[in-house]
Amino acid sequence: MRFKSINFTCKNCGAPLRFSPIEESLKCEFCQSIESIDASLEEIKEYDLSKALIELNRHHEKEINKEVKCSKCAATFTMTPYSFSSNCPYCGTPAIIDFVKEVTPESLLPFQLSQKEAKEAFRKWVGSLWFAPSKLAKFLIDDEKLKGYYLPYWTYDAKTVSDYQGQRGDIYYVTVERNIIVNGREVRQRVQEPRIRWTPVWGRVYNEFDDITIGASKTLSYTILDNLAPWYTEKLVPFNKKYLAGFTSEEYTIGLDNGFELAKVKMNRVIRQSVRQDIGGDQQQITSLKTSYYDTSYKNVLFPIWTAQFRWKNRTYNYAINAQTGKVSGERPYSWIKIALVAITLSIAIGGAIYIDEHPQAIEKASKFLHLLSVNFS
């Protein structure tokens, strides 16, 4: 299918404009002119989930490759079925097209971190990694090209009522007689020992959830997307194509229904915590838990992410940076040499503890040794 693309041009020199996170505006790369984006006061709506799930089941969306004609150089290129903005591969001009999905994003979080700031956040993250190969940090900073994406997320609100059954465990102490070794001799002594008393319990807990966020793209793994949280959704602004200029944007590939199943898993963790609190005591067992959801609503939003891949010893690693907060999430290689060295050092330290006890000067030697390890072997 053929799509017409749009882009925004500089009023001063006619060159294409891109969104600049630093100015929070569109910016011309040639004459540096800034075009601000009008702040919209439009309310960001949330929609009834149960109604939408019934309606969406009636439609089946086909996946089509999108042929796009660049509005600047007139070349034709293909966007993936779920993309709706990217840059022309021939001239680099931003190209934004229409949505094809039933549910479209009505709000987004604009990019806050520039590519440079994202690289800096990433460099710090690599530096903070335990057991990462030391050459990694340098390797990454040199070759890396970060790509800016607006990826789709679902946010869900819900109220829940959960009925549970379980056991409450209370610890109490009993006095018992035991044989104990004192100075190499066995003596009989009275000691306190803990016991646990289990009582059957049941009850009901209520929870309320606001903006549970679920990544709706398959471009990055669910784990990477999920680890980018938290997102501060109070900063959402009404959707405007101008924010997309220069970035790749995607529509959802994980549906509203599947997204809600993932949200239930997240809500369930919180609900179980509430149940444990409700049970009280020192320990809790939950034997049955039934939850009903009501007042459920959703919205479809776009979140800004810088991402890249790197190859390290024949494997590809993906990572991403939350372009609102700078939080990094990613796959990472381990240096087995570093891990082995720490394991050896630890066993020396533990084995040497008795020796050190009697020879205080050994502590100094040991700490020098540890210091050498951390400096030299990397």
Q: Does 130 bind Zn ion (CB under 5 A)?
A: no
Contacts of 5 (CB under 8 A, 6+ apart): 68, 69, 70, 71, 88, 95, 96, 97
Rounded to whole angstroms, how far apart are CA atoms 15 and 139?
34
Rounded to whole angstroms, how far apart are CA atoms 311 and 79?
25
Question: What x/- string results for residues 4 through 23 when contact with Zn ion is judged by CB under 5 A?
Answer: ------x-xx-x--------
Of these, 26, 49, 68, 70, which contacts Zn ion (CB under 5 A)?
A: 70
Rounded to whole angstroms, how far apart are CA atoms 283 and 279?
9
Q: Does 199 bind Zn ion (CB under 5 A)?
A: no
Question: Which range in 18-26, 91-99, 123-131, 252-260 contacts Zn ion by CB under 5 A?
Answer: 91-99
Q: Does 176 bind Zn ion (CB under 5 A)?
A: no
Question: Which range in 85-93, 268-276, 282-290, 342-350 contacts Zn ion by CB under 5 A?
Answer: 85-93
Tokens matching residue 245: 């200029």
Question: Which range in 68-76, 119-127, 142-150, 347-355 contacts Zn ion by CB under 5 A?
Answer: 68-76
Q: How far does Cα 209 stand from its chain's mean position?
A: 18
Residue 66 CB, shortest distance to Zn ion, in Å, is 15
Please, are residues 95 and 78 in contact by the beta-carbon 8 Å criterion?
A: no
Residue 15 CB, shortest distance to Zn ion, in Å, is 5
Q: Does 68 bind Zn ion (CB under 5 A)?
A: no
Of these, 26, 28, 79, 267, which contacts Zn ion (CB under 5 A)?
A: 28
Number of residues that bind Zn ion (CB under 5 A): 16
Contacts of 226 (CB under 8 A, 6+ apart): 215, 329
Please, are residues 85 and 94 in contact by the beta-carbon 8 Å criterion?
A: yes
Residues making contact with Zn ion (CB under 5 A): 10, 12-13, 15, 28, 30-31, 33, 70, 72-73, 75, 88, 90-91, 93
